[in-house]
Structure 1
Amino acid sequence: MKLQSQLNLAFTTLLLVMLTVTGLVIYSLLMDMLIEDEQAELKQNGELLVQVLNENGRGNSLQGFSDFLDEQDLDLFLYNRHQNRVLDSTMPPRYVNGFSANNNFADDQKEIWEIGNNKFVTSRILFNPESTGLELILLTPINDLQAVQQDFFQRLMIVFIIGAIAAVFLSYFLTNKLVTPLSRLKGQLKKIENRKFDELESIKATGEIKEVEQSVYEMASELQRYVNSQQAFFQNASHELKTPLMTIQGYAEGIRDKVFDEQEQEKGLDMMVTEVKRLKMIINEMILLAKLDSEQTAYQPENVSTSTLINQVMDRTLPMVNEKNITINQEVDEGSSLFVDQEKVLRALLNITFNAIRHAKTRVDITVEKSTIVIEDDGEGISKDLLPHIFHRFVKGNNGETGLGLAIARAIIEQSGGKIMVHESKLGGAKFILSFTN
């Protein structure tokens, strides 16, 4: 069942339940309200009759009361409490006898009288002075009230039905307005599934659906970037692997066909060993990148002193520093620490530091303040065209090796819950900023 049908069905069911409960409650309370209103009206009529009788002096004469009674279109009794006797009545004798048998006249607390299948609402009014014991009892058949109840309930049901029909149409309109953007969003997701990123269209929506739409388009942009990066990765990887393989193949075929003399053969063998080592390094770094992307459980964080990490970096870069005659300046907050995988973060710091040493002219500065590490050099810096792509795989600047070092560094830093950014340094070269959340 479609979502719109489910919403309409749920709303209609809820509406019917509410209307049914409301109707039953109103129906049950309506008779009580009618009885109370009828009793109040009977009392008002009775008090008016008693007042008229007292004012005209008819209350002192039974005959005068009877004559006056005949002029009224009411069901009533004139009852004497002291004698427990009905003095006069506008109702047939069988009612007098029946009510007397049920002791209704003597029981002044009973408001509903029954005789056979008939029920009556009553109201009792005493004559003044009360010492006379005369009492006027007025009655109304409950059947009349039930007729009013049924009529009112029928009218109420008509109102409920009209309201229910209007509510169902309104529900259909609102759910259609709600579901239509979702249906269109489903179409956009189909385009993403088929990788038709350029055909995505914006849809009109509000509230949470608009937020979902924005999330879907952000996801599509990220997927497109990922697909493009994967395509670029395979293209670059094939190029990077093809170059040393072609060199190895060329020298191997030359040696096999005895094209080279002994000196050139030695040179070719040395070149083949060099290219094999380069291939091995590229393959190892590609495997490391794949592991960083897929094996989250291989990451084992612990509290590590930042000064310890920097000292390890200084020790391992010392041969290259001496070879290039570069000065490394460090300024470390001794009390700072990071909750990271020490070996992996050390690998990232080494990749960035080696990169800085290769491009530096005279100096590299390493600064640590709380959870932020800054590595900068005084080299030529990174070109503006290359800057947005510097952390992509196989993107190399001048003097670059495999083009995977900074990509590995970024993967490690992000897996550590941190961020890595690159800017121009005041020293003239590149400035890498590593920010950790802990």
Structure 2
Amino acid sequence: MKLQSQLNLAFISLLLVILAVTGYVIYSMILGMLIDNERMELQQKGELLVDVLNEQYRSQGNNQNIGGFLKDQDLQLFLYDRNQDQVLMSTMPQQYVQGFLDQNYFAKTREDLWEAGNSKFVTSRILIYPEQTDLEMILLTPLTDLQTVQQDFFRRMLLVFFVGILAAVPISYLLTNKLVTPLTKLKKQLKKIEKRQFDQIERVKATGEIKEVEQSVYDMATELNRYMKSQQTFFQNASHELKTPLMTIQGYAEGIRDNVFEETDKEKGLEMMVTEVNRLKTIINEMILLAKLDSEQTEYRPEQIEASELINQVLDRTFPLAQEKGLELSHTVDSDSFFFVDQDKLLRALLNLTINAVRHAKSCVAITVENKTIAIEDDGNGVPEDIIPHIFHRFVKGKTGETGLGLAIARAIVEQSGGKIMVSDSSLGGAKFEIVFQE
């Protein structure tokens, strides 16, 4: 069953349950309300009759005249004498009088609902001349009259409910269609992603949580597209980076095999072959490391380390290279700064960034640690604008770069450590790499 049908069925089922419960409650309450209202009306009618009797027949003291007056009112009532426990007059058939006497209803002054045979009556009792006599007028209304009103009201209510359901069905269809349509369109876009048709992805108009899902799908498609392209670029660059030293090694090896080179050239060729083999080894090792970092196959052992200790290790390892180039290597570290990371891995990332800065610097490199931020700056030529968006991708390097994997490795380690790495222009004139960890 489709989602729209399920939603419509659920909505209509819920509506029917609500209407059924509402109808039952109203049906149960309406009879009680009608009885209370009828009792009040009988009380008002009785009080009006008593007022008339007080004005016209009080001085006469003749109960027969009172009875004749009451019979002319076309009401169902009794005239009852409390002292004699006797019904003096009745406008109802004798069978009801006898039935009420047998049930002793006349003596039960607090009983408002009388029953005789299969008939029930709502009653109201009013004293006549309370200060002189114990005459009492009892007015009655058959409960069947009220039940007829109750049933008529209930039929009207059912009609209203039925019309409401008929109106709710198309409204439910429109609302669920508005809800499901974006999901249907989103499904088509996911099919495009499955077929890698990233250029044909279209945005879907939606609201609320569906809009958030749509945005997530679009972001996922964008990231997958970027990843696919980066993988293609990676394999292209990797084949190029590996092909160059292999061709060099092949050329010298064939020359030595065919005795093309003189003795001195053979020595030079062997040295070149060893250099290229080491270069290949470095590239392959860094590619393996980067693959492990991206796939989270490496074991990560975080521990709390002081920032000063970590930076001192970086300085100790990069100092000889800085001295060789005649660079000033400065640092500023907060004494109370610390990081909860894998020390060896973060050290590798910082070394990659610092060596990169030393390679491009003209006269100085500065390392600054403040709170949870590590900044590494140089006074070189900076990062070209066209490279900045791709600087942390694999095999992206500047003119003096080596393998093009150092910054990609640094990015992978920082992200695995829960941080974020950024590049910008430095106040020293060159590039500024910042690593920011969460507080």
TM-score when scaled to structure 2?
Answer: 0.95
How far residue 161 of structure 1 moved from its aligned partner, in angstroms, is 1.2
How far residue 318 of structure 1 moved from its aligned partner, in angstroms, is 2.8
Cα 1:122–1:427 change in 2 (3 A) is: closer
- 1:10 — aligned with what? 10
Q: Distance in 2 between matches of 1:124 and 1:143?
A: 20
Q: Distance in 1 between matches of 2:324 and 2:130?
A: 130
Q: Distance in 2 between matches of 1:151 and 1:230?
A: 76
Contact 2:302 2:340 survives alignment (8 Å): yes
- 2:325 — aligned with what? 324
Pairing of 1:332-371 with structure 2 (within 5 A): 332-371=333-372
Q: Distance in 1 between matches of 2:368 and 2:52?
A: 109
- 2:101 — aligned with what? 100
Pairing of 1:393-432 with structure 2 (within 5 A): 393-432=394-433
- 1:129 — aligned with what? 130
Cα 1:69–1:363 change in 2 (3 A) is: closer
How far residue 401 of structure 1 moved from its aligned partner, in angstroms, is 0.9
- 1:295 — aligned with what? 296
How far residue 9 of structure 1 moved from its aligned partner, in angstroms, is 1.4
- 2:31 — aligned with what? 31
Q: 1:403-429: CA deviations, max 9, x gaps?
A: 001111111122222222222233332
Pairing of 1:199-214 with structure 2 (within 5 A): 199-214=200-215
Cα 1:79–1:312 change in 2 (3 A) is: same
- 1:47 — aligned with what? 47
Cα 1:426–1:94 change in 2 (3 A) is: closer
**What secondary structure sits across from 1:304 in the alignment?**
strand
TM-score when scaled to structure 1?
Answer: 0.95
**What secondary structure sits across from 1:123 in the alignment?**
strand
Q: 1:71-90: CA deviations, max 9, x gaps?
A: 22111111111111111111
User: Which piece of structure 1 moves more, 393-402 or 308-317?
Assistant: 308-317
Contact 2:82 2:136 survives alignment (8 Å): yes
- 1:77 — aligned with what? 78
One-letter amino acid of the structure 1 residue matched with residue 330 of structure 2: N
**What secondary structure sits across from 2:77 in the alignment?**
strand
Pairing of 1:243-322 with structure 2 (within 5 A): 243-295=244-296, 298-322=299-323
Cα 1:437–1:69 change in 2 (3 A) is: closer
Contact 2:189 2:202 survives alignment (8 Å): yes
Contact 2:67 2:79 survives alignment (8 Å): no
**What secondary structure sits across from 2:125 in the alignment?**
strand
Cα 1:45–1:335 change in 2 (3 A) is: closer
User: Which piece of structure 1 moves more, 382-391 or 224-233?
Assistant: 382-391
Q: 1:148-173: CA deviations, max 9, x gaps?
A: 11111101111111112212222221
Q: Distance in 2 between matches of 1:297 and 1:322?
A: 34
Cα 1:98–1:130 change in 2 (3 A) is: farther
Q: Distance in 2 between matches of 1:96 and 1:363?
A: 120
**What secondary structure sits across from 1:109 in the alignment?**
coil
Contact 2:57 2:66 survives alignment (8 Å): no
How far residue 3 of structure 1 moved from its aligned partner, in angstroms, is 1.7
Q: Distance in 2 between matches of 1:354 and 1:245?
A: 26
Q: Distance in 2 between matches of 1:350 and 1:56?
A: 119
In angstroms, what is the RMSD of aligned CA positions? 1.8
Q: Distance in 2 between matches of 1:66 and 1:287?
A: 116
**What secondary structure sits across from 2:222 in the alignment?**
helix
1:389 and 2:390 equivalent? Answer: yes
One-letter amino acid of the structure 1 residue matched with residue 427 of structure 2: K
Cα 1:297–1:46 change in 2 (3 A) is: farther
One-letter amino acid of the structure 1 residue matched with residue 307 of structure 2: T
User: Which piece of structure 1 moves more, 191-200 or 425-434?
Assistant: 425-434
Q: Distance in 2 between matches of 1:296 and 1:18?
A: 56
One-letter amino acid of the structure 2 residue matched with residue 229 of structure 1: S
Q: Distance in 1 between matches of 2:410 and 2:87?
A: 110
Pairing of 1:119-198 with structure 2 (within 5 A): 119-198=120-199
Q: Distance in 2 between matches of 1:112 and 1:234?
A: 95
Q: Distance in 1 between matches of 2:235 and 2:184?
A: 36
- 1:374 — aligned with what? 375
Q: 1:134-187: CA deviations, max 9, x gaps?
A: 111111111111111111110111111111221222222111111111211221
Cα 1:372–1:92 change in 2 (3 A) is: closer
Q: Distance in 1 between matches of 2:379 and 2:97?
A: 121
Q: Distance in 2 between matches of 1:428 and 1:132?
A: 117
How far residue 354 of structure 1 moved from its aligned partner, in angstroms, is 1.2
One-letter amino acid of the structure 2 residue matched with residue 6 of structure 1: Q
User: Which piece of structure 1 moves more, 12-21 or 210-219?
Assistant: 210-219
% same residue? 68
